[in-house]
Structure 1
Amino acid sequence: MRLESLQVLNVRRLQDARLEATAETNLIWGPNGSGKTSILEAIHLLGTGRSFRSHKAGEVITHGAASLVVAGTVREAPNSALRSLGIEKTSSTTRIRADGEPLKSASQLADALPVLTLTADSYHLLDGGPAIRRALLDRTLFHVEHAYLEKLKRAYRALQQRNELLRKGEFSRIEIWNAQFVVHAEEMDQIRRGATDRLNRLLAEFSASNDLPEVALDYRRGWKAGMSLAELLEQHSVRDREMGFTGDGPHRAEVRISCAGRPAAQVVSRGQGKLVLAVLLAAHAELIAEKSGRRPVLLVDDLAAELDRTSVRKALSTLLGTRCQTFLTTIEPEVFANAIDASTKVFHVEQGKIRSSQAALA
């Protein structure tokens, strides 16, 4: 997958910015507040329909503007047709298009432009709650298993209906939703477990090449081992009725990240944590490529922060080794001078303006 061009209107400081990004590796540099992270944010918007920095569109739109627009052209393979994608957001509406035709959902954008993103907030994958780790796994599985999104939607629809009946005390109708919930939850569990097993094999390889204690994922499905979900829903029916919600199921799943068998957040420094996250991102990228035949676009914000130059080279080698198109941001481009080759495209951003800047690595 390759993003070949990008046009950004009214995304934070980027009032009217264009980027021709035909290279596999693209380095974007500039001072803090220049707009370089907003370029990654715009690409993320184009690939997911949302920002990675704010849930409120009004906070992303340039002050004084009514809407933002991000448009781009993508090519799935070197000889495939060029596709056009676009998204327009106001504070209350979203419109998305592909090849000039309106799309109904952001998942269609995600299918057209798969992206994986690493930012400072990604550290919450290590020290945050389980929801953020479930979300990463589920986003990856959307690209890995064609039917996964529908299974997830059906499981959560049944869960929502079951919880509503629990809150209202309408217990006579719960069995209908129990049956649907169990079927789709167990399908989700099977897919999640298989993906986690493969991710762990990839993580073992990447950990060794980065001199890290072995990074691994400890997957817990969200209900007690050795019992079926149907049995547990029956066993815990009184508890669920008293609490008014469902206490067992895939919505309670956990994917713990460990280093050498211990919780990663407890044993790694901030710098090591960034290496762990780079390894995790690379493993997810490889899984998507293996299962879908398409390599996602990687968006990596300020990789060099909190890393020494040796660690930067290791992390960069791991990420670029995936052969995914990669967009990197930095304050100091010289940090990357000996870590990337002449084919890298370099851009300088200042006050929301983008220009080619190959000489920065000289």
Structure 2
Amino acid sequence: MTRVTNAVGGKRKWWGVMPVLPAPAMGGMAKQMEQVGFEGVFSLQIYGAPFVPMAAVAAMTDTLKVSTGIAVAGTRSPVETAYNAIECDTISEGRFILGLGTSLHSALEGIYGEPHRKLLTHLREVVKIVRYVNANSHKEMEPLHGEYYDLEWTEKMQTAPPLRENIPIWIAALKDKLTSMTLEIGDGLMVHALWTVNYTVQKDDFIRSELARFGRKREDIEINAWPWIAINEDKQQAIEDSRATVAGYAGYKEYEDFFDSIGFGDLARDCQLAAGEHGDVSGVIDKVSDDMVQAFVKCGPIDEVLEQIEPFWGVVDSLCPMTPYRNLSMEQLTRYNEGLFAMVAEAKRREG
């Protein structure tokens, strides 16, 4: 049997997304994921910080890695983010990965009431501070001064040594500038769900050339992709169920140039929603064609979907398949989530 590998010749790693549920339900899902062979699990920041659910999952599992996927960098002090990471790493006994992202100006300012910032400059500063606190909070600390934070450590007490002084930091990216910065400073790159299979394959040369520019090897960073997947023997039904999710993302004007770059600019402009309308995409769902849905969501039976996502493995180390989620009932979400588990179990079986 030919050994199947990821882009760096290692084992293919699978991650999942954990919804916030009562602890027994989260624990049951997490233990099932361990049994299936998942590498780890992410918790999203929809509004609340994602550290608490990952601490809960860590306490109920033995081998599953836990990560914030993502913690929005601009909604809390980077010092607090650093200590959240240290505590989650302690609780998980070294299984924690800090996933960070920028989010959008419209969300940071319009939802959280945060001031306007240069998002990449701010994120770079956050990563620097988090790493400094992680490595030095149990030692004497020198003042840090940046564009957004002046940290004198007034009244700062030394804390116990962290379990690890260098907790991995993965950064989520969509466009080239943030992707490049991630390849420079990150331990992992989480590519946006809008990175289609074809787009991801096309970006492989960019990833490798940027790493070389920063004096890094491909093995120095983990590339993790988040494809939307809708497992359903009725492929057309899967397409219908996925349409609202694609419409929602197409509705953000901030993503317009990205959709232009992959050939869906006109359809995305048809889907654009005014500020405050993103909670309801019902008025633009019919603007999304079947072809557009299938570019972003791999739909159909397990065998067909595994074939469709196979090219990812030439570029990435790990995959975190997600279900479509907009306008779906809890019953539908549960069924599609069960499909993901069955798909990963089949993939693991084939990998041996």
TM-score by length of 1: 0.34
Q: Which has the higher contact order (CA 8 A, sep 6+)?
A: 1
Structure 2 length-normalised TM: 0.35
**Greater strand percent: which structure?**
1
